[in-house]
């Protein structure tokens, strides 16, 4: 079954001086490029949900597809997911699986995509969600497209879950747990200056 990937890249770093998160560098490499590198060996095409950000500001590569939020926009990653589903529905042969990741998680594990896919296909679940050290990361998940294809309609009707966390809970998504393997949380993200400093320091120790 073909698997596409979606990067949620619409976040503006309000606690980082309003910087576009996708363009922030960790270890000399943009966050968008780091996440792309973890996904592209395993999934194609690569969709980029840009929210209210002009996609031209993200420096997308020719094979990266800019996906607008669902209209009318609800905001946040749920709207990005709904926008990606509209793109999928418009394709002659839509992907069967959609792997998602937050653009500000620069240390996605090398086995992120394979393990998520195995968890979904072996267990037959509608979705799976990544977890580490007791915390789940709803933006880092894998969905069967057929299980959520009606999300845009439900958002339009006002009957959709209000968050990715709620959506995954409704789908009974199993957790796929990763240990830190001595290198820190594999899904650590950039929310503020302290997070950025810690992840930058981490880049010098790996």
Cross-strand pairs, 137: 130
Cα separations (Å) of 119 from 115, 123, 145, 163, 166?
Answer: 6, 6, 16, 22, 20
pLDDT per residue, tens digit, the chain (206 aa), is 899 999 999 877 676 777 889 998 999 999 999 999 999 999 999 999 998 889 999 999 999 999 999 976 567 899 999 999 999 999 999 999 999 999 999 999 999 999 999 999 888 999 999 999 889 999 999 999 999 999 999 999 999 999 999 999 999 999 999 987 767 889 988 888 888 877 788 877 75
Angle between helix axes 112-123 and 31-39 (nearest 10 degrees) is: 50
CA–CA separation, 127 and 174 (whole Å): 7
For residue 85, the domain's CATH number is 3.90.550.10
Specify the pLDDT at position 192: 81
**Residue indicated by tokens 């690569």:** 46
CA–CA separation, 16 and 59 (whole Å): 20
What is the helix (H) or strand (E) element at residue 3, kind and residue range? strand 3-8
Specify the pLDDT at position 121: 87
In the chain, the number of structural domains is 1
CA–CA separation, 82 and 166 (whole Å): 14
Task: Tell me the three state secondary structure of residue 66.
Answer: strand
Q: Which domain holds residue 188?
A: 3-203
CA–CA separation, 161 and 167 (whole Å): 6
For the chain, what is the total number of helices (H) and then of strands (E)? 7, 11
Q: What is the pTM of this model?
A: 0.94
């Amino acid at each position: 079954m073909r698997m596409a990937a979606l990067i949620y890249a619409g976040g503006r770093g309000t606690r980082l001086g309003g910087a576009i998160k996708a363009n922030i560098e960790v270890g000399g490499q943009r966050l968008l490029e780091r996440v792309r590198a973890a996904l592209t060996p395993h999934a194609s095409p690569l969709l980029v949900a840009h929210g209210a950000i002009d996609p031209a500001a993200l420096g997308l590569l020719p094979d990266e597809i800019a996906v607008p939020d669902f209209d009318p926009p609800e905001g946040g990653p749920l709207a990005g997911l709904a926008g990606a589903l509209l793109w999928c529905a418009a394709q002659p042969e839509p992907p069967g699986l959609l792997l998602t990741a937050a653009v500000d998680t620069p240390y996605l594990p090398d086995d992120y995509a394979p393990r998520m896919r195995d968890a979904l296909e072996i267990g037959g679940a509608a979705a799976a969600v990544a977890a580490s050290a007791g915390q789940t990361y709803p933006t880092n998940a894998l969905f069967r497209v057929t299980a959520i294809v009606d999300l845009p309609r439900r958002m339009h009707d006002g009957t959709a879950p209000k968050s990715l966390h709620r959506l995954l809970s409704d789908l009974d998504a199993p957790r796929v747990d990763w240990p830190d393997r001595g290198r820190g949380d594999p899904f650590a993200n950039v929310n503020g200056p302290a997070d950025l400093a810690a992840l930058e320091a981490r880049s010098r120790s790996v």
